[in-house]
């Protein structure tokens, strides 16, 4: 309850009380009202044989294992990220994936097929959940429940019930477990309990880490049993081969019409974003335009007063299908994050997407960025400005050796490869 109250307070500070009321209503509807939706419930009950036959047909297909994604990360959300990419690539590699939707973002009453061996499932529909899990019991293949370390929905008791029914656990340790990252004042007990469960249950739990700092934490406290490193990656073709012609945001058109060099960033705008560094760049280089795409994750963006710089443009989030079209007009791509426990344990997904677009990259001194030759690392705001200048010069001169390195490092970090190392770990323990 304290977690929910903290979340509401954060929303009020960020978006105001009316928006907080709207979001609370949507949450209550998706979390509780949808569970007692008599029409959805009756649909399953009255058409039980039909749904059972359809589920059995799915379970009788060609695959090596079943994976149930049970974290509160919807499918049709503004940021198409790791969960969707990993699920898609699992399904392309002989995994039958049932992905739990959130009814806030995904209009799925029972289940929907989105890819071969990949189905979105409404676990808030109790009849659907019961039918699916009952039918899975009869399948003699490895079964897994997968979730994020930051998930606050699935309880340890529920995990134990899955284990009692023959499931193994895939614990994706994706970020430093921090209240700032979660946008709340303290870490929910549920998240702490699952973290402790992961450390102690070596028999049933596989751990996926996305950054060196997270791996060190697990190695120190748990050892290397059933552990694999799989940082974030890129859908290379989506960002390297931009095909769609789109109608740009009118504000972006005005930026393009100015003809200035564009310094870009996309992603969450949160407390770990170095707003002062970006303002410093804007003031030192008024002949550059700075374009920020993404979501206001907390109240930090509004507090930063970026509007005092006339050459900084915040254009909000863009759909995943359109994102490469926008970013392809950036002259330099940046990740200007503050250096702290959160960012030192972060694998920036956008890093590999920037690489695939063959855009010069300037970041701050984050551990997971320093691994790559194609990334220019700034240790302070003065160096950040100098490296942006250098990046523009490299782009103008078309430094082929540098751009070859961008291409090489992006191809080495595809989502196919990130999913495969996880599958390889599971396979090694299924024999």
| CATH H-level superfamily of 237-411 | Glycogen Phosphorylase B; (3.40.50.2000)
2-233+418-430 against 237-411: fold identical: yes
State the pLDDT at residue 36: 47
Both tokens of 418, joined, read: 């990130």
The tens digit of pLDDT for each residue in 67-77 reads 999 988 889 88
* pLDDT of 303 above 90: yes
State the pLDDT at residue 21: 57
Both tokens of 296, joined, read: 């206001």
Fold for the domain defined by 2-233+418-430: Rossmann fold (3.40.50)
State the pLDDT at residue 243: 84
Q: What is the mean pLDDT of residues 197-204?
A: 97
- pLDDT band of residue 129 (cuts 50, 70, 90) is very high
State the pLDDT at residue 29: 47
* pLDDT of 89 above 90: yes
Lowest-confidence pick of 39-43, 114-118, 169-173, 345-349 = 39-43
The tens digit of pLDDT for each residue in 228-244 reads 999 999 999 999 999 88
State the pLDDT at residue 183: 59
CB 263 within 8 A of CB 336: no
State the pLDDT at residue 3: 46
Domain boundaries, the chain: 2-233+418-430, 237-411
Residues 6 or more apart whose CB falls under 8 angstroms from that of 153 comprise 70, 71, 72, 190
* pLDDT of 379 above 60: yes
State the pLDDT at residue 105: 79
State the pLDDT at residue 10: 52
* pLDDT of 2 above 70: no
* pLDDT of 26 above 60: no
- The share of the chain scoring above pLDDT 70, in percent, equals 89
**Do β-strands 332-335 and 312-314 pair in parallel, antiparallel, or remain unpaired?**
unpaired
pTM: 0.89
Lowest-confidence pick of 43-47, 193-197, 411-415 = 43-47
Comparing CA positions, the residue from 271, 249, 272, 253 lying closest to residue 262 is: 253
* pLDDT of 33 above 90: no
The tens digit of pLDDT for each residue in 152-190 reads 889 999 999 999 999 999 999 999 887 766 655 678 899
């Amino acid at each position: 309850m304290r977690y929910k109250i903290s979340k509401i307070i954060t929303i009020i500070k960020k978006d105001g009380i009316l928006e907080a009321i709207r979001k609370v209503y949507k949450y209550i509807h998706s979390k509780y009202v949808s569970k007692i939706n008599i029409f959805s419930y009756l649909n399953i009950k009255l058409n039980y044989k039909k749904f059972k036959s359809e589920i059995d047909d799915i379970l009788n297909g060609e695959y090596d294992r079943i994976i149930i994604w049970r974290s509160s990360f919807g499918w049709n959300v503004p940021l198409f990220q790791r969960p969707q990419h990993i699920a898609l690539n699992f399904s392309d590699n002989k995994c039958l994936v049932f992905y739990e939707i959130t009814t806030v973002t995904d209009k799925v009453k029972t289940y929907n097929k989105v890819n071969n061996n990949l189905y979105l499932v409404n676990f808030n529909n109790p009849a659907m959940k019961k039918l699916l899990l009952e039918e899975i019991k009869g399948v003699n293949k490895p079964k897994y429940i997968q979730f994020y370390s930051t998930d606050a929905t699935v309880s340890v008791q529920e995990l134990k019930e899955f284990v009692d029914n023959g499931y193994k656990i895939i614990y994706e340790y994706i970020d430093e477990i921090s209240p700032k990252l979660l946008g709340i004042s303290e870490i929910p007990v549920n998240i702490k309990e699952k973290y402790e469960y992961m450390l102690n249950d070596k028999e049933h739990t596989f751990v996926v880490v996305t950054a060196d700092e997270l791996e060190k934490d697990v190695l120190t406290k748990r050892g290397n049993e059933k552990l694999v490193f799989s940082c974030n990656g890129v859908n290379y073709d989506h960002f390297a081969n931009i095909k769609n012609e789109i109608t740009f945001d009118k504000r972006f058109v005005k930026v393009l019409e100015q003809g200035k060099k564009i310094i870009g960033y996309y992603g969450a705008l949160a407390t770990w974003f170095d707003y002062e560094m970006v303002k410093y760049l804007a003031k030192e280089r008024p002949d550059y335009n700075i374009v920020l795409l993404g979501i206001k994750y907390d109240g930090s963006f509004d507090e930063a007063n970026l509007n005092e710089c006339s050459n900084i443009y915040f254009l909000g989030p863009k759909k995943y299908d359109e994102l490469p079209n926008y970013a392809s007009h950036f002259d330099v791509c940046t990740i200007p994050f503050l250096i702290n426990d959160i960012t030192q344990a972060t694998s920036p997904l956008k890093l590999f997407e920037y690489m695939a677009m063959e855009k010069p990259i300037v970041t701050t001194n984050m551990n997971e960025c320093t691994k790559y030759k194609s990334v220019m690392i700034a240790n302070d705001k003065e160096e950040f400005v100098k490296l942006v200048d250098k990046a523009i010069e490299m782009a103008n001169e078309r430094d082929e050796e540098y751009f070859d390195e961008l291409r090489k490092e992006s191809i080495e970090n595809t989502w196919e490869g990130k999913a495969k190392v996880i599958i390889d770990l599971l396979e090694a323990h299924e024999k």
